[in-house]
Each structure stands twice: as structure tokens, then as C-alpha cells.
Structure 1
Amino acid sequence: MIRAIPSIASDNIYCTLLAHSAVHGAMAGYSGFTVGPVNSRHAYLPIA
């Protein structure tokens, strides 16, 4: 996450949630994806 202002506590929570989702997807065998919020839920988003 790139920010122009100092981070706050919710940034830490958000980054941790994204990291957990990414690791979960990788351990499930997915590749070529990123994670992000879609309609207030975290989803695997294909890159290609």
C-alpha cells in the first residue's frame, strides 16, 4: 500500500487481511491472481 500520509491502525488491519487472503489463495493452489475487496467482501481477482 502506497500512501502520502502516515498510516493508521485500520491500514494495518487491512494489509493483514489482504496478506492472509493472498497466502490462503496460494496455499489453495491458485496462481495468477491478486486479492481485493469486491462489494465489501474479499475476492480472488485474476491478473491475466
Structure 2
Amino acid sequence: MSEIMMLLILILVFAIFIEVVVFVIRMVLKSKKTDEEETIDEVIDRK
């Protein structure tokens, strides 16, 4: 049972890490504001 709990915690931490990375990438893309990066930002928004 404890192994399942550890696995769930690892998945949760990994999901939070991905959210933070995506947020940072979007902030960087918005600060540059070139045409290509805006389209990448729109693609991220659709997901």
C-alpha cells in the first residue's frame, strides 16, 4: 500500500513540475513577442 502512495506522490510532484516548466516557457515566449513564438504560445493554449 505504501508503494502505491509513493507512486501517486511522485506523479503529483512530476505534474506540478511540468506545470511550472510550461508556465515559465510561456512567460519567456510572451516577453520575446515574435511571430513564431506567439504561434507556439497559441498551440500551448489549445492543449
Larger Rg: 2
TM-score (norm 2): 0.50
Q: Which protein is richer in helix relative to its size?
A: 2
Q: Which protein is richer in strand relative to its size?
A: 1
Q: Structure with the greater relative contact order (CA < 8 A, sep ≥ 6): 1 or 2?
A: 1
TM-score (norm 1): 0.49
